[in-house]
Amino acid sequence: MLDGADKVIVALDCDREKALHIGKLLAGQAQWVKVGMTLYYAYGPSIVSEMHDMGFKVFLDLKLHDIPHQIRGAAKAASEAGADMLTLHALGGSAMIEAAREGVEAAAASRQTRTQLLSVTVLTSMDSESLQRVGISTPLTEEVRLLAQLARDAGSDGIVCSPHEVGALRKDLGSDSILVTPGIRPAGANPGDQSRIATPAQALEAGASQLVVGRPIVQAEDPLTAFQAVVSEVN
């Protein structure tokens, strides 16, 4: 395993066939893959097992948001399916996050590790105007910081945030919080639909503990070389 490989989470936003293909190419080199709703809803928990069987840890990005009773069960089930990290919406509130924590702790009894919980604050697809339209008049950055603090106090292990927020959250939450940032583009890479981007080095310098990188690796002609290039930038 390359030094620094644990800091790069490869987002498998593709179909199962391609996910398995990329998995084979990166096996033994990458440590983390991200399975999102599209892949998980199509193939279920078996896609998580398949990634584990290839030797990867799985960041299961399901962004849970429901009443505490439902979330306790969902987090337990996702943990038992093999999620090493699991996402949920901080907007669900303290009781919901506490329930998720209870769910992953209940699952930890039969697993060797406890699933780490990461909270999403304000989706990066939203701006100040769309936040106001859903009735939230708190300035966007303040809302992100408030939700991040609430999530941590309720038992979340970390936050998923943009590279532009990671510096402020690192200061607020301290050194032990997991801060995972998507929106990463190696210097010169196509930004695609991402607008608030940073290079791997910039995001880590700003305080990120891990980076989510999708298309720059998955859509590259040579995904292994693209992965190695991101890791060398991390180092």
Minimum Å gap between C-beta 196 and ligand C5P is: 9
Which tokens go with 154?
């309720």
Give the C-alpha separation, 139 to 155, whole Å. 25
Distance CA 87, CA 83 (A): 10
> Where is 213: in which H helix or E strand?
strand 210-213
Give the containing element (helix H, strand E) for 160. strand 158-160
Q: How far apart are the first and last CA of the chain?
A: 13
Cβ at position 194, least distance to ligand C5P in Å:
5
Active-site entry in 7, 18, 63, 76: 63
Nearer to ligand C5P, 10 or 104 (CB): 10
Tell me, what DSSP letter sits at residue 58?
Answer: E
Residue ranges in contact with ligand C5P by CB under 6 A: 11, 13, 34, 36, 123-124, 160, 182-183, 192, 194, 212-215
Which amino acid is present at 49? S
Strands (E), 108-198: 116-120, 158-160, 178-181
Complex with ligand C5P: residue 77 or 123, whichever CB lies closer: 123
Q: Which is nearer to ligand C5P, 115 or 162 (CB)?
A: 162
Q: Which residue is nearest to ligand C5P (CB)?
A: 214
Enter the tokens of residue 103: 């769910």
Residue type, 146: L
In the complex, least distance from residue 90 CB atom to ligand C5P, rounded to whole angstroms: 12
Residue among 95 and 191 whose Cβ is closer to ligand C5P: 191
Residue 85 exposure: Cα atoms within 13 Å on the Cβ side: 26
Does residue 86 contact residue 62 with C-beta atoms inside 8 Å? yes
CB of residue 12 to ligand C5P, shortest distance in Å: 8
Task: Compute the distance between CA of residue 104 and CA of residue 97 in angstroms, rounded to an integer.
Answer: 11
The torsion angles phi and psi of 36, rounded to 5 degrees, stand at: -100, -175
Q: Given the complex with ligand C5P, which of 8 and 107 has the nearer CB atom?
A: 8
* Residue 63 among the catalytic residues: yes
Minimum Å distance from CB 106 to ligand C5P? 27
Residues serving a catalytic function are 63
